[in-house]
Amino acid sequence: MDALTAIHSRRSNGLVEETEVPEEVIMQVLEAGTWAPSHHKTEPWRYFVMTGDGRRQLGGAMAAIAAEEMTPEEQVEKQKNLEKQKQKPMRAPVVIAVAAEPSEEERVDTLEEYGAVYASIQNMLLAAHALGLAAFWRTGMHCYHPKMNELFGLSGQGRVLGLIYIGYPVREMKEGRRRPVEQVTTWITEE
């Protein structure tokens, strides 16, 4: 599959089979991520691949983060919701937490480090698609919570920037739509 076809045909797809994804296929997805551009060649991405019962630690952290915002009474009342949080990582046979561990070099801007990791995530999504996998990228406040840094051993500057759920697709996705590029583009040709 050529790059433009992959870009145009890739869709977030969360409906996946329980079938295990071979490690060598996951490694190809990870390798694609490492080919993203990074300013000053810092390569700030860190990947945490969770399969099998390894996904349960993530579920526990997600439930603990959700529980923090609840009173003890609400925790009892909303136990079903907390159980649902625990089960989220079990939706796909592979979950990859993608984090940024910014360089401490003074010349390196943290925002650029995050940008490099976002580019890495896009590479991974395109690679998964080209390899016949379904993938979807989830973010949210739980990703940026200190408990995630704890879980993955990140520094205080580090951040989980997304969770990529990967598996073999159950169904094909509909063709995507975007606004015409002319609506979002301004050409500047003169001073």
* pLDDT tens-digit map of 157-183: 999 999 999 999 988 877 888 898 999
- Which tens digit of pLDDT belongs to each residue from 121-140? 999 999 999 999 999 999 99
Domain ranges of the chain: 21-168
Is 138 one of the annotated binding-site residues? yes
CA pair distance 6, 190, nearest whole angstrom: 35
35 is in an annotated binding site: no
Look at residue 151 in the predicted model and tell me its pLDDT: 97
Report the top-level CATH class of 21-168: alpha beta
Q: For 108-123, what is each residue's pLDDT tens digit?
A: 888 999 999 999 999 9
Task: Please say whether the beta carbons of 58 and 95 come within 8 A.
Answer: yes
pTM of the model: 0.91
137: annotated binding-site residue? yes
> Within 13 Å, how many C-alpha atoms sit on residue 43's CB side?
8
Using DSSP bridges, classify how beta strands 94-100 and 134-138 pair: parallel, antiparallel or unpaired. unpaired
Beta strands 94-100 and 159-167 are antiparallel
